[in-house]
Amino acid sequence: MRPAVSSPLKVGAVVITMGDRPDDLRALIDSVAAQQGDPVEVVVVGQGTPVSGVPDWVRTVDLPENVGIPAGRNVGIEAFGPGGTDVDVLLFLDDDGLLAHTDTAELVRQAFTADPHLGIITFRIADPVTGVTQRRHVPRLRASDPLRSSRVTTFLGGANAVRTKVFAEVGDLPGEFFYAHEETDLAWRALDADWMIDYRADMVLLHPTTAPSRHASYHFNVARNRVWLARRNLPAPLVPAYLGVWLLLTLARRPSLSALKAWCGGFRAGWTTPCGPRRPMRWRTVWRLTRLGRPPVV
């Protein structure tokens, strides 16, 4: 039984940027500064481009090159002490997002204080013009009602809050993933360590509707990292089942020939390249994922 956490919890925020959206970045920082309760300390990590145009109270870390989303966020975590231990909770926010309400940080504090088993909160992402939440931004199979909060089995990378004790217990994000599925890798490890994950519809990040396939390496990374995810985390009998289901789902979506070639190249790379340490989840975690509505075969 984990001990209850005293309130108020100290909250920090990590933002990574390529330096190509300075106005959006400033608007996001302003929305963090406007949060009710104790101030939220912000660290901005520049990926290959020095961070500029941010308020003096914002700390910056400039990396000489783009190391990828999870590795960049890991740098931001370390800026708050080893494993982020200078704060109790870290928000991870996309640099072109915007916190819709001024009580989000306070709601985060209340949620983590009320539930000592809660390790991760994923926010609802809504388009700033239409208010629509895309189905892919609701991290559960039954995604037709984005306004319904629930326990979930994964979270959204650029709109979430993580209790820093999770990192201390299960480790950082998998930096080698560069991007794609790094959230699920951390989520599965957290669930295997008996933490829980909540999707909260009342915590909203405004973010323009975009297609993830806009990234040139999207299809390659999605396939490679899917294989890495399975190799790292699943019991051996579930690895072929999980990857077989995703192969069929990918083919059912009828990708273009170029996308399919990239996907197949990534799938092959997932088997032939190192994936990091293998720590298969317990079968009780498989059952927990199943009870939460997403067995680790889909």
- pLDDT tens readout for residues 46-100: 999 999 999 999 999 999 999 999 999 999 999 999 999 999 999 999 999 999 9
Q: List, in sequence order, every residue forming a beta bridge with 251; answer none if it has no partner.
A: none
**Final residue before a domain boundary, out of 194, 210, 226:** 210
Give the C-alpha separation, 261 to 255, whole Å: 9
Residues 177 and 197 in one domain: yes
Asked if 195 and 212 count as a contact pair (C-beta separation under 8 A), the reply is no
Percent of the chain residues topping a pLDDT of 90: 91
Residue 3 forms part of a structural domain: no
- pLDDT tens readout for residues 98-117: 999 999 999 999 999 999 99
Residues 26 and 144 in one domain: yes
Supply the angle between the helices 182-192 and 283-291 in degrees, to the nearest 10: 110
Residues 125 and 54 in one domain: yes
Give the C-alpha separation, 277 to 13, whole Å: 28
Residue 185 forms part of a structural domain: yes
Residues 178 and 30 in one domain: yes
The pLDDT, as a whole number, for residue 298 is 86
Give the C-alpha separation, 46 to 154, whole Å: 26
**Single-letter amino acid, residue 169:** E
φ, ψ dihedrals at 147, nearest 5°: -90, 0
User: What CATH number has the domain bearing residue 193?
Assistant: 3.90.550.10
Give the C-alpha separation, 121 to 125, whole Å: 13
Say which residues have a Cβ less than 8 Å from residue 296's Cβ, sequence separation at least 6. 188, 233, 234, 238, 242, 281, 286, 289
Q: List, in sequence order, every residue forming a beta bridge with 11; answer none if it has no partner.
A: 89
Residues 194 and 220 in one domain: no
Q: Which one-letter DSSP state was computed for residue 87?
A: S
Cα–Cα distance list, 192 to 65, 127, 282 (Å):
33, 33, 7
Specify the pTM. Answer: 0.94
Tell me how many degrees the CA angle 191-138-35 measures, rounded to the nearest 5: 85
Residue 184 forms part of a structural domain: yes
Q: What is the total residue count of the chain?
A: 298
- pLDDT tens readout for residues 193-248: 999 999 999 999 999 987 765 556 899 999 999 999 999 999 999 999 999 999 99
Using the structure block, give the residue that is written with the tokens 């939440």: 133
Residues 64 and 205 in one domain: yes
Pairing of strands 159-163, 118-126: antiparallel
Q: List, in sequence order, every residue forming a beta bridge with 63; answer none if it has no partner.
A: 47
Q: How many domains would you assign to the chain?
A: 2
Residue 93 forms part of a structural domain: yes
The pLDDT, as a whole number, for residue 146 is 95
Q: Which two tokens stand for residue 114?
A: 């009320």
Residue 278 forms part of a structural domain: yes
Residue 103 forms part of a structural domain: yes
Sign of the CA dihedral 264, 139, 83, 80?
Answer: positive
Residue 77 forms part of a structural domain: yes
Range of the domain at 233: 213-291
The pLDDT, as a whole number, for residue 1 is 40
Residue 1 forms part of a structural domain: no
